Amino acid sequence: MNKIIAKERLSQEVFRIELEAPHIARERKAGQFVIVQTDVDFGERIPLTIADADTAKGSITLIFQAVGVSTHRLAELEPGAYIEAVLGPLGNPTHIENYGHAVCVGGGIGVAPMHPIAQALKAAGNKLTVIIGARNKELVILEKEMRAIADELIIVTDDGSYGRKALVTEPLKELCEAEPKPDLAVTIGPPIMMKFCAETTRPYKVKTFASLNTIMIDGTGMCGGCRVTVGGKTRFVCVDGPEFDAHEVDWNGMLLRLGAYKPLEDAAHKELHESGQCRLDALADAVMAKAGLGKSGGAS
């Protein structure tokens, strides 16, 4: 049982929660994740990367997007409430050293797990460039935090509502073409974005890590649901990863595996909204009404 001590809605569908987890706060390192379960009897185990930790307070911060039934349930919890199960820190920490010039590419919610990695890379003496990509201005998160540590911060949005109107791969390519080219790229975000980041850096032979977000149950090596082909070998994201050489990952295979339960998940998600059970819809509507805007159409 882990108590939620703070909660913030970063955008319509993105939430930041801080929760009591003294052991995890103490042991976690950049790049590691936790498994969260809001109901130990019937709930799902959801892997979420740790965005921050405060060892003095004994707390960790998670940033997540309410994309399905289980993340909705999590988003509905308010400060003072308890999350029934939080397991971690899981996975291998990011290998941090002074590479020289490191480029961190975070897409959407992927900016959250990128933050501690960027922090650690900066602390290790790297020159740090951060690229934040989002669908629109509303969905840009952690700009202030990243600006505080990055030597250079580039923001791009799909619709041009903020920063450059571009995909993250555009500035990434420009950086690779510059002299000297970066020594390391790290990419975290939607799998398709990570795939294209890998393709962007490949011709320039810029070492690139990607942090994978596969389907997972136990997170400790037991189920093998998270397996992915890396360099022709089957690897488990939970115990061998979550970070792998992005140039070696079989992205297409991974994308197919991520879709395994898509029809079932979409049906469950649709039912949640249609049954009027989603309290986030009501909250979003209230916020929009207050701002004098129309109905939100609900969190996605």
Q: Which residues bind another protein (CB under 8 A)?
A: 23-24, 27, 37, 39-45, 69-70, 73, 84-90, 217-218, 220-225, 227-229, 234, 236, 239, 250, 252-253, 256-257, 259-261, 264-265, 268
Nearest distance from residue 10's CB to another protein, in Å? 24
Q: For another protein, which is the closer residue by CB, 147 or 233? A: 233
In the complex, the smallest distance separating the C-beta of residue 112 from another protein, rounded to whole angstroms, is 21
Cα distances (Å, whole numbers) of residue 213 to 113, 224, 259, 283 = 11, 14, 12, 28
Q: 113 in helix, strand or coil?
A: helix
**Least gap, CB of 27 to another protein (angstroms):** 7
**23 vs 135, which CB is nearer to another protein?**
23
The DSSP string of 222-280 is SS-TTEEEETTEEEEHHHH-SEEETTTB-HHHHHHHHTTTHHHHHHHHHHHHHTT--HH
Dig out the tokens for 297 from the structure: 């159409």
Identify which of residues 200 and 213 has a Cβ nearer to another protein in the complex: 213
Collapsed DSSP state (helix, strand, coil) of residue 172? helix
Residue the block writes with tokens 């990695």? 117
Q: How far is the CB of 143 from another protein (least distance, A)?
A: 32
The tokens 């509502």 sit on which residue?
161
- Least distance to another protein, CB of residue 54, Å: 17
Q: Compute the least distance from the CB of residue 20 to another protein, in Å.
A: 13
CA proximity to 103, closest of 164, 188, 29, 28: 188
Separation between Cα atoms, residue 281 and residue 157, nearest integer Å: 25
Q: How far is the CB of 218 from another protein (least distance, A)?
A: 7
CB contact at 8 A, 246 and 204? no
Reduced to 3 states (helix: H, G, I; strand: E, B; else coil), residue 150 is coil
Rank residues 37 and 208 by Cβ distance to another protein and give the closer one.
37
| Dihedral angle computed from the Cα positions of residues 199, 200, 205 and 208, in that order, rounded to the nearest 10 degrees | -80
Q: Tokens 């480029």 — which residue? A: 103
Q: What is the residue-wise DSSP string for 184-223?
A: EEEEES-HHHHHHHHHHHGGGT--EEEE-----SSSSSSS
Q: Which is nearer to another protein, 239 or 288 (CB)?
A: 239
Least Å from the CB of residue 222 to another protein? 5
From 187, 173, 182, select the one nearest 249 (Cα to Cα). 187
In this structure, how many other beta carbons lie within 10 angstroms of the beta carbon of residue 58? Answer: 16
